Amino acid sequence: MQALVDVIKTFARPDQILLNEPMSRHTTFRVGGPADVFFLPETGGQVARALEAARQRGVEAHVIGNGSNLIVRDGGVRGLVICLGEGMSAIAREGNTVTAQAGATLAKVAAFAQAEGLSGLEFASGIPGTLGGGCAMNAGAYGGQLSDCLIDAEVLLDGQTRWMAVDQLGMGYRTSLPLRQGGVVLSARFELKEDDPAAILVRMKELNARRRDKQPLNYPSAGSTFKRPEGHFAGALIEGAGLKGRRVGGAQVSEKHAGFIVNAGGATASDVLALIRVVQDAVLARDGVRLETEVRVIGE
């Protein structure tokens, strides 16, 4: 692992590299053991070089944003974690187009658009993820999704960086070609519409009020835990199975919205994953529906 660190130091500052970094500091669930090497890149080139250095040395590598859709197991992550964050979070406007780097949070991109009098990203203002992960997952809420206004994205795939138009990205419900093929979204461009900033802000506040009213935002979580099964709503199935409030250790099915598993205090990743299995088994037994997780799980 030291050989990998030495290579990264040839193109990045020492303060961009953290060793044995607790992943509980970098997930919204606030769980997870340490990463062997935690790297905070500031350019797409640094991302590409770090991934290539890991590949050449047979070291497993993971790319994350702010950990809002991620569970890291308690044993931590052997290998390299590349975190796209503040160092890659620039946002700019040209006409009605907003360009943002992968590390910018969707909330900040939406707030930037609102301040510029550009409409189309209001739905994203309460989504806790970053733009890179949001594009890879085609994040959405309240009837909107990023593919609705996405022009193209800069994608690192198979060691090559290219701009891909939205119709090349294979975007569907919580999926995209980069996600399926192990690519990394480095930045993206959105085509928005001019509107009164005050009117945009009103719509954003209304959506965020609905979110606060329905979702357990006062507890650490990874957002909605399960994908929406065809013809059903995950929360309704879980509530119907009588699982609201069910706990395993510090993990709990939210009493406010059964589609959320939360860290009610002192939860471990093992608690969370065990509770996910309890929910999946109960819903399958009662309704014959296999709930698929929306969250990504890494580590050992």
Please identify every residue annotated as catalytic.
Answer: 174, 224, 294
**H/E element, 25:** none
Beta bridge partners of 35: 21, 77
Locate the DSSP E strands across 102-213: 118-119, 140-141, 144-145, 150-157, 160-165, 184-191, 193-194
Nearest alpha-carbon partner for 157 in 117, 118, 185: 185
- C-alpha distance from residue 296 to each of 27, 73, 125, 277 (Å): 11, 11, 22, 15
Three-state SS at 251: strand
Angle at 37 between CA 34 and CA 41, to 5 degrees: 120
Cα separation, 132 vs 173, whole angstroms: 16
User: Beta strands 70-72 and 296-298: pairing type?
Assistant: parallel
